């Protein structure tokens, strides 16, 4: 009879230990999942910001090219005007 009681309490102890381990494992899994979800959100946010910055870079490069073309056009006009005045003055 005492042996049966011993086994009964031993089984209860094993069950309680397993239940506690399961709860701990589930809590740890939830923490890891939350960290994973947070990481995914951060990645999506970073990708969104990267695309935004790439568009700004492209716009800046296009603007720079436009300004450079305008500068070269003005420079050639100044060169033509200067040569015209020289020919008139030296003429």
Angstrom distance (rounded) from CA 63 to CA 69: 10
Widest distance between CA atoms in the chain: 133
The sign one gets for the Cα dihedral 18, 19, 25, 29 is positive
The 8-class DSSP code of residue 1 comes to -
Per-residue pLDDT of the chain (91 residues; tens, 9 = 90+): 778 888 899 999 999 999 999 999 999 999 999 999 999 999 999 999 999 999 999 999 999 999 999 999 999 998 888 777 777 767 5
In three-state secondary structure terms, 10 is helix
Q: Is the pTM of this model over 0.85?
A: no
């Amino acid at each position: 009879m005492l042996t049966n009681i011993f086994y009964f309490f031993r089984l209860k102890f094993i069950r309680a230990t397993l239940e506690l381990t399961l709860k701990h494992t589930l809590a740890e899994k939830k923490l890891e999942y939350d960290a994973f979800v947070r990481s995914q959100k951060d990645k999506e946010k970073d990708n969104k910001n990267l695309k935004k910055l790439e568009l700004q870079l492209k716009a800046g490069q296009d603007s720079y090219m436009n300004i450079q073309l305008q500068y070269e056009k003005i420079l050639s006009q100044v060169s033509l005007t200067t040569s015209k005045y020289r020919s008139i003055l030296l003429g």
